[in-house]
Structure 1
Amino acid sequence: MSQILDPLPQDQKASLLCCYVNATSQIQIARITNIENWYFERVVFPGQRLVFEALPQAQLEIHSGMMASSILSDIIPCERLSVNNSLEEEADSALPRSGQDSRPSSSDNFRSPLETAASTKEKVILA
């Protein structure tokens, strides 16, 4: 991912793809200030998703507030915001463990599409 305005320091090889969502009703400022020779700052509107690259040791500061005031409301390690880690964990949990059968068993309450459609139709008729 290209960050034209704030490229990561050239001497750093590892980077994380991170995502932060402003789940509040206020405008927030997201900053990273703990990385030497690099400064990152973005305005994040309510409901907006901010996707950015950062170094593993970076900490995202979230500032919020009203007119002419800013309150540091949270500091989040960028490792916790990493999209790559989330995707890897989801993929690992979705894969069957070695020696396990990936097919559903009768104990999984597996129903075929026809059985599902039939039970839905019964519910509609009864209602």
Structure 2
Amino acid sequence: MPQIFDLIPTESCDRILCCYVNATGKIQVVRITNIPNWYFERVVFPGQRLLFESPRAGQLEVHSGLMASAILSDTIPCTDFQVQEGEDHFSPLLLSANGG
């Protein structure tokens, strides 16, 4: 079950379960900012797997680099990270987001 600190707006009822893996050696900050009345931001450490819910229209921004000078590395549709529920296992999309 994903941790949800900021509830998804009720008008965004088409939610998907997603998994993002930081396959780089750097700390990343991931954000979803394109959903009105909702803001999602998490720090993802190298090798960490982040399980989260998002409206289907969500766009995950991946920021890499030093915290004081993090740059937007990529913006990816959350549907690319969708987990197929009901399966015994899943293979999340591994992205280096320009970090190698």
- Shorter-chain TM-score: what band? 0.7 to 0.9
Segments of 4+ moved more than 3 angstroms? 1-4
Greater RCO, CA 8 A, separation 6+: 2
Percent identity of equivalent pairs: 61
Could you state the TM-score of these two structures normalised by the residue count of structure 2? 0.79
1:66 is matched with which residue?
A: 66
2:47, 2:4 → 1: CA distance?
Answer: 24
2:44 is matched with which residue?
A: 44
- The answer to which structure has the higher helix fraction is 1
Q: Provide, for residues 44-93 of structure 1, a one-character-per-residue CA deviation record: whole Å limited to 9, x for no partner.
A: 000000000001110000001125101100111001110028x5xx9xxx
Could you state the TM-score of these two structures normalised by the residue count of structure 1? 0.63
* Count of aligned positions: 87
What is the aligned-residue RMSD (CA, Å)? 1.8
Gaps of 5+ in 1: 91-127
**Larger radius of gyration, structure 1 or 2?**
1
Q: Is the 8 A contact 1:31 1:39 kept in 2?
A: yes
Gaps of 5+ in 2: 91-100
